[in-house]
Structure 1
Amino acid sequence: MKTAELRKKDVAGLQAEVKELQKAHFNLRMQKATQQLSNTGQLKITRRGIARAKTLIAEKQAAEKQSAAK
């Protein structure tokens, strides 16, 4: 998912996205372990998607804390 699409989601939506990506990444790792995965590049894509979503969660939470402090 593109960053622009992720920015439209709220924190709960991003956390759901992270959970979904983690499940997908786990399934890909199991496929790789059993020699069933033909496109190993998918592992990199899901790993980066998880990182992207987690980064946006941290940004949104920091912005909430900053606006609450004012």
Structure 2
Amino acid sequence: MKTKEFKEQLKEMSVEQMIDMENEYREELFNLRFQLATGQLENTARIQTVRKAIARVKTALRQAENN
């Protein structure tokens, strides 16, 4: 998903949905790190993508909190 599309999608979500999304990304990041440690990870760039997605969700949550 493109960054612009992702940001638009976040704007339309409720706070609860964003929290759920963040938790899903954190779980995925944990699994990716586990795969990296065991040598099973094929796409190492996915770790960085998931980390950025978590940061974007946290930013959107913070903005929603301030509004």
TM-score normalised by L of structure 1: 0.87
Moved over 6 A (4+): none
Equivalents in 2 of 1:10, 1:17: separation in Å? 11
Query: Secondary structure at the residue paired with 1:49?
Result: helix
- Decide which of 51, 65, 68 is 2:55's aligned counterpart: 51
Shift of 1:4: 0.7
Equivalents in 1 of 2:29, 2:49: separation in Å? 9
Structure 2: give runs of 5+ residues left out of the alignment: none
Pairwise CA RMSD: 0.8
Number of aligned residues: 63
State, as a whole percentage, how many aligned pairs show the same letter.
Answer: 33
TM-score normalised by L of structure 2: 0.91
Structure number with larger C-alpha Rg: 1
